[in-house]
Amino acid sequence: MPKFLLKRWYGLHMVLALSFCLLLLAILTLFHWMYGAIGIVCLIGLILFALQAEKGFQQDLRLYLATISHRVKKAGDGVIQEMPIGIVLFNEEKTIEWTNPLMQVIADEESLIGKNLADVLPGLVLKPDQKRIEFSFNDHVYEVLVRSEERLLYFRDISEQKELQGRYQREKTVLGIIHLDNLDELAQVMDDQSRTLLSTSVSGVINEWATKHGVYLRRVTADKFLAMMDRQTLDKLEETRFDILDVVREMTADNKIPITLSIGIGAGVTSHMELGQIAQSSLDIALGRGGDQAAVKSGNKITFYGGKSNAVEKRTRVRARVIAHALRDLIHEAEQVIVMGHKQSDMDSIGASLGVLKTVQVHNKPAYVVLDEINPSIERLMKEINGSPELAESFITPEQALRLITGRTLLVVVDTHRPSLVIEPRLLYETSRIVVIDHHRRSEEFIEDPVLIYLEPYASSTAELVTELLQYQSDRINIDSLIATALLAGIVVDTKSFAFRTGSRTFEAASFLRRNGADTATVQRYLKEDLSNFVKRARIVMNTEIYHTNMAIAVGNPQESYTQVQVAQAAEVLLTLSGIQAAFVVAKRSDDTVMISARSLGDINVQSIMEQLGGGGHLTGAATQIEGISLNEAVRRLKEVIDAL
């Protein structure tokens, strides 16, 4: 109620009470004047007592209010002086005008008034519209609350909280799965006793390594161990770059088939079930990349260590037969099949696509091959295909494929597993039936949820894998001479005429193709080049720098554009130079994208180098493409990655 209304209400009641008393006195006086006189005396005394009591109440009230104000002010001053928060008041020039005592303790100075913030608290940077800052000073961490309008800073010590957070992160559970590669292959080249002794010695080394680093290790199968550790231990293992990989490889290097390790690590989550799934997924990736490496996955980030040796060729055809039968069933269930390779198709991609096309035709299903453009590396082969009306009709453009594809279409992706490299990425989202056939080491980027994966890094080429699948499609299969020749050409190109990444099954696949009409002379004709390409490649080789004594880096002319084939061939020529273990060629494509093609003899893992530049490939052959940079910048980045090895 407003004060003036309260006074009016109080005065009205007093008037009514006084009027009532006077009325009673008048009535008493009518009965007897003495009663009236006594009543008047009593009324006057009552009025005087009330006035005195009111005066005393007002005095007590004023005294009480004054006491409360003093106590509140004193309490406020005490809070500001003694609260566990440092307070700084400064002016526009960042000069300190006032602080509470705790701030003097924080700054370790007796008086801060008149000093500049930058001098007292070096490293404290105040940015416009910034409300909170985390500030480290004198071995403490403070949360600084900024009130820009009042030019006030509040410092709260959160050192203990940060220590607890760090401890929580360091003690997070990490799960790992350690896999002994090649254990099954040892059974074919060693007797049981020798194999058992070798396996026992390798297990002893692994257990010794685990004990040294505080890793709990439990053998779950003959070729697998379950490892449990905390995040702090994982960080230390990453610092050593999982040196156990090198130890095991070197101790078994004298064997015909050395034992290597593949390690999958899951970290970054609290659920043990999810950790196990991540660890298994990481192990699958490590194995998909050829083994002899560790894959550490924390959240969405995956890091690879090792990968210094080539994948050992599998000696059994069981997996090829199982995949072939699974592919046959998928073809029967589909209404049509579309085959797609990678951008800038090469001989391996086209040869593998034709092999899958023939596989589908064996089962009397319609099939098509997606091709965006014809580049010089496949020009001669495509002329032969265009001369065959039946084969030419099977090639369609990406736009035609988008119109044809349905939910029941089987999409077969060959010679790549990365969505960003396929000819038409939109096709991947138009069907849920996707098959991946590839021989490249698995990268972090992978086609999502394929129904069938045939990823074998040990294989020389995708054409070799498709040739093996063809052999299991029918007891008697007739392959067109042109398709057989294209498949053989894919193998020849990727093996550099059977010089690199060539195993016994590579020759078996080539022999099968030769029996089915593959013409080696025609293969050589497909691979011939004209004089202008030869001269252009020679100019790249002329501009070569020897780096770190055993690496060659060549740079193309900034004013010219090159094809991927020209750049790759130049890298292969450099690799033939004496003393060169790895070769890198940097050049521009016609769309100004910078290409880097890398080749090695096996001692240097060019795949890991190219992956750090956004590419991928094999241990001995890899590449990347970088947009929006100059050749000099690309060379600088390449050297930085090499220096960090």
Q: How many CB atoms lie within 10 A of CB 35?
A: 14
Output the CA–CA distances (angstroms, integers) from residue 90 to 95, 96, 107, in the order listed: 5, 4, 15
Distance, in Å, from the CA atom of 174 to the CA atom of 266, rounded to the nearest integer, reads 6
494 labelled ligand-binding: yes
Tokens of 323: 């995949």
**Amino acid residing at 64:** Y
Distance CA 8, CA 5 (A): 5
The span from the CA of 583 to the CA of 580, in Å, is 7
3-state SS string for 227-271: EEEEHHHHHHHHHCCCCHHHHHHHHCCCCCCCCCEEEEEEECCCC
Q: Is 628 left (phi over 0), alpha (psi -120 to 50) or beta?
A: left
Answer yes or no: is 342 a known binding residue: yes
- Integer-rounded Cα Rg, in Å, for the chain is 42
Strand ranges of the sheet holding 594-600, from the earlier edge strand across to the other edge:
544-547, 551-555, 582-588, 594-600, 621-626, 616-617
CB atoms within 10 A of CB 164: 11
**Are 455 and 285 contacting, i.e. CB atoms less than 8 angstroms apart?**
no
Question: What tokens appear for 470 in the block?
Answer: 């063809």
Phi first, then psi, for residue 173 (nearest 5°) are: -70, 140
- Rounded Cα gap, residues 59 and 48, in angstroms: 17
SS3 label, residue 347: helix
For residue 362, give both structure tokens. Answer: 């064996």
Q: How far apart are CA 629 and CA 640, in angstroms?
A: 15
Beta 224-230 vs 173-180: how paired, if at all?
antiparallel
CA 246-247-253 angle, to 5 degrees, is 80
Strands 409-414 and 336-340: parallel
CB distance 621 to 592 below 8 Å: no
70 marked ligand binding residue: no
Report whether 415 belongs to an annotated binding site: yes
CA 246 – CA 532 distance, rounded (Å):
46
Residues 6+ apart with CB under 8 A from 208: none
Q: Are 590 and 561 in contact (CB under 8 A)?
A: yes
Q: What is the largest CA-CA distance in the chain?
A: 153
Mapping DSSP onto H, E and C, the string for 127-145 reads CCCCCEEEEEECCEEEEEE
Residue 439 known to bind ligand: yes
Rounded CA-CA distance 56/432 in Å is 92
Local structure of 549: helix, strand or coil: coil
Asked whether residue 348 is marked as a ligand-binding residue, the answer is yes
Residues at the binding site are 342, 346, 348, 415, 439, 494
Residues at the binding site for Mn(2+) are 342, 346, 348, 415, 439, 494
